[in-house]
Amino acid sequence: MTAPAPVRPVLGRLRERVTTLAGMVVTPLVPADYVDLIDPLRSTNGLRGRVVEVRPETRDAVTLVIRPGRGWNTHVPGQYVRIGVDVDGVRQWRTYSLTSKVPHPDRCIAITVKAIPGGTVSEHLVRRARPGLVVQLDQATGDFVLPATRPAKVLFVTAGSGITPVMGMLRNAVHELEDVVVVHTSPVPAEVVFGGELRALAADGRIRLVERHSRLEGRLDVDALTAVVPDLAERETWACGPTGLLDDLEARWAGLGIADRLHVERFRPATLVTGDGGTATFSRSGVVVESDGATPLLESGEAAGVLMPSGCRMGICFGCVVPLRSGAVRDLRDGAVTTANEGDGVLVQTCVSAAAGACDIEL
Amino acid sequence: MTALQKKAHNPIGHLSAEDVEQLGRELDAIREQIIASRGERDAAYIRKVIDVQRKLELSSRAILLFSLFPPAWLIGTAGLSISKILENMEIGHNVMHGQWDWMRDPKIHSTQWEWDNASPSDMWKHSHNQIHHTFTNVLGRDNDLGYGIMRVDEDQRWSAFYLGQPLWNFLNACFFEYGIAAYDLEIGKYLKGRKDKPTFKRQAKQVLAKIKRQATRDYVVHPLLSGPSFLHTVAANATANLVRNLWTHSVIMCGHFPDGVETFEKTSIEGETRGEWYLRQMLGAANITGSPAMHMMTGNLSFQIEHHLYPDLPSNRYKEISPKIQEMFERYGLTYVTGPLPKQLASAWKTVIRLSLPNDFMAKAQDAVVSTIVPGKQATSAPERVAA
């Protein structure tokens, strides 16, 4: 045993005592509540980040460079992060793909946001985000990433803002990839997010870029993709974009018998099946609402002021999972009905579950 | 006060059922307007109040580390008193009402908030939000009518216990936070055997644990940190708690006990409509007039009427809608009970003192002098058993 070894436990115990004392000083609050007053990024009340730069990408898209606060781990390129922003006084959480380099020289991360017409959060971030804005953060997550052993041949099929996770991968790993084809669809050339950067990579011979412009040439015909990328069956493929495109790709890849070589990232829930709705009871909050068969329980609960845990809002992150005490809910994606009797506490995802009759949620 | 249903002149006798429903629709419309316009401005408001209160508390407590010096004691104690009042009234009370739940900020949410008060937030929310705000001023249902230790309405039966109520009320004012804790714990109900023992024991443990934490902070930890100023800091904390207790008790007395506030018979709320519920809230509360600082220090409970109509809407909006509400009172021929704090407080205290004696005691006493003395029927009866 070396001499300095016992120092750590002693320091640890001291730290523990100081924390306990600080807790006694500020009860019923916690010390972090006071740290919040001075520097929200250092607080342990939750992970936050501060926007340090807002870079316009296109007319409708910006890149936000964010310095994460205390507690941020790191991310793998291709992953996404949940961001909480107050819009009109209401905290809204959304997920965005990370597009920054790892490690970033300034310990910052970046997301790129495209304004969706009528989109509460995207419009707010694109039009109103300024350096200094503090946002809520969560750790990066997601398995839409390149394997540690880089595949020899890669194909990326993207559309619209689906380019963002792929850009995160390209920026970090393009020098480790031998043969990359990017098939990217956007409405018109001027609206290609990262258009300049992609074209520069292509000009350098780092990637082969196939640009499609849906407003001029129509939607990408997946069956005709072989004509553009003849060796696609040999390629490990990552795809991100609208549901229709991803469904087509999955069907095509399955047809070719290479479904295992396709990795998709969905930004929207798949097909919606509406049910009958019913009375939703949030028993711990004492809130009872009528929830129709098309509205996720997450939204009904939030609208009634229940503090609903939430995440991706598309059924993938399981951040919204809560026990269904009793009753029935229908999965909006496939129409499957889940039922529970008193005491079962079946866990359901509120963001993709609607009331299918009376239901009692433990919240 | 006397139950409205027993009054010779019914103050709502001139309203038809349709009038009452129309009134309900108008009040619903005002509610919709507020909800539709809730936003960034309101969120910024509550965050600012919380920020100011915490900084005030922090600096006051820092100054009190040197409370041995009289100016430090005075400034620190004044600051701490104001901070405690803000924390209990404009912040705690209103956050726990769910007035800010719409922000979806877990740190400013009714389910998460804990306040600087002896009563744990969960228990307070039950007795206040659920019981008092639902059954406002309904005799036998709303325990806030005298808190179970006083008689504030002619229709609450007199017993000799109430002779002491001016004293009970004064003591309750001095130790109000403990009074609230005992009240939320429903000690009276437990002693009468109408509250199950395990629940009571569990809750009592919870209350004692909270009191211990609070008292350790105010009377041990901060005094110890003050070193040679130990005793002075103890006194400063005790004073701040006393000031907060007296102030909050006074404000709350002005909310339901002054003259002109109506009470309701237990059976009168059977099958109550939305309009009738609103009407009961309008008649069952009283406001306090005053400056913006006054409204802030009462947690906007100086707009008690508006608060009772919309207990879950942001407190900063009560002042804004008050003219509209007053106009409605006028149009519907109702009395909007309000007045400056000294007047309302005196009126509430007068009621407490007057009702410590049996109804019309003075008149009866005079009669007794001229006629033979007959023991009053009410004087021998037991205190009314209040149904849950």
Cβ–Cβ gap B114/A91 under 8 Å: no
Q: What is the dihedral of CA B20, B25, B27, B30, to 10 degrees?
A: -160
**Count of CB pairs separated by less than 8 Å, A with B:** 70
- Which of B54, B102, B112 is opposite residue A34, by nearest beta carbon? B54
Per residue in A308-354, pLDDT (tens digit) is 988 778 776 677 888 898 889 998 877 888 887 776 677 888 998 99
Asked if pLDDT for residue B168 goes beyond 60, the answer is yes
Q: What is the pLDDT of residues A264-293, one digit of tens each?
A: 998 754 433 446 889 999 999 999 999 998
Scan residues 46-75 of B and list those with Cβ closer than 8 Å to A.
51, 54-55, 58
Q: For chain B, what is the mean pLDDT?
A: 92
Using alpha carbons only, what angle is made at residue B281 by residues B277 and B284, rounded to the nearest 5 degrees?
130
Residue A276 has a pLDDT of 82
Question: Looking at the complex, does the CB of residue B111 fall below 8 Å from at least one CB of chain A?
Answer: yes
Q: Which pLDDT belongs to residue A218?
A: 83
Assess B134–A contact: CB distance below 8 Å, yes or no.
no
Average pLDDT of the residues in B173-177: 97
Q: Do B98 and A305 touch (CB under 8 A)?
A: yes
Q: Report the residue from A28, A91, A285 with minimal CB separation from B104.
A: A91
> What percent of chain B is modeled with pLDDT above 70?
94
Banded pLDDT at A78 (limits 50, 70, 90): very high
The CA distance from A23 to the nearest CA of chain B, in Å, is 9
Highest-scoring range by mean pLDDT, B108-112, B141-145, B151-155, B216-220:
B216-220
d(CA B174, CA B196): 30
Asked if B199 has any chain A CB less than 8 Å from its own CB, the reply is no
Minimal-distance CA residue of chain A relative to B224: A25
Fold of the domain spanning A48-137:
Elongation Factor Tu (Ef-tu); domain 3 (2.40.30)
Q: Which residues pair with A58 in a beta bridge?
A: A61
Q: Do A90 and B103 touch (CB under 8 A)?
A: yes
Residues from A contacting B (CB-CB < 8 Å) are 21, 24-29, 33-34, 36-37, 45, 86, 88-92, 284-286, 302, 305-307
Minimal C-alpha gap between A163 and chain B (Å): 31
Among A25, A286, A305, beta carbon nearest to B102: A305
Suggest the residue from B59, B104, B133 to mutate for an interface test with chain A (most A CBs closer than 10 A): B104
Among the partner-chain residues A89, A305, A307, the one whose CB lies closest to the CB of B43 is A89
Chain B residues whose beta carbon lies within 8 Å of the beta carbon of residue A31: none
A31 CA to chain B: closest CA distance, Å?
11
Read off the pLDDT of each residue in B15-43 and give the average, rounded to a whole number: 95
- Asked whether the beta carbons of A75 and A102 are under 8 A apart, the reply is yes
Q: Give me the pLDDT at residue A316, please.
A: 66
Contact flag A27-B39 (C-beta cutoff 8 Å) = no
To probe the interface with B, which of A20, A21, A88, A322 has the most B CB atoms within 10 Å?
A88
Residues of chain B with C-beta less than 8 angstroms from the C-beta of A28: 114-116, 210, 213-214
Fold of the A278-361 domain:
Ubiquitin-like (UB roll) (3.10.20)
Select A153-266's CATH number: 3.40.50.12780, 1.10.1370.30, 3.40.50.20, 3.40.50.80: 3.40.50.80
Burial of B133 (0-12, 13-18, 19+ CB in 10 A): middle
Residue A45 scores a pLDDT above 60: yes
What lies within 8 Å, CB to CB, of B165 at 6+ separation is B146, B149, B150, B151, B352, B355, B356
Nearest-CA distance A225 → chain B (Å): 45
Say what the pLDDT of residue A272 is. 37
Name the residue ranges covered by the structural domains of chain A: 7-38, 48-137, 153-266, 278-361
Residue A86 has pLDDT above 80, yes or no: yes
Average pLDDT value for chain A: 90
Interchain CB distance below 8 Å, A90 and B58: no
Average confidence (pLDDT) over B282-305:
98
The residue ranking higher by pLDDT, A44 or A274, is A44
Look at residue A317 in the predicted model and tell me its pLDDT: 65
Q: Does the CB of B102 have a partner CB in chain A at under 8 Å?
A: yes
Examine the predicted complex and report whether its ipTM is higher than 0.85: yes
Sheet holding A262-266, edge to edge: A208-213, A179-186, A153-159, A236-241, A262-266
Task: Tell me, yes or no, if the pTM score tops 0.90.
Answer: no
Burial class (CB in 10 A: 0-12, 13-18, 19+), B19: middle
Q: Does pLDDT of B239 surpass 70?
A: yes
Q: What percent of chain A has pLDDT over 70?
A: 94
Show which of residues 201-220 on chain B sit within 8 Å of chain A, judged by CB atoms. Answer: 210, 213-214, 216-217
All residues of chain B having their beta carbon less than 8 Å from the beta carbon of residue A284 are: 111
Instruction: Delimit the domains of chain B by residue range.
Output: 4-38+116-342
Instruction: Judge if A48-137 and A278-361 fold alike in CATH terms.
Output: no
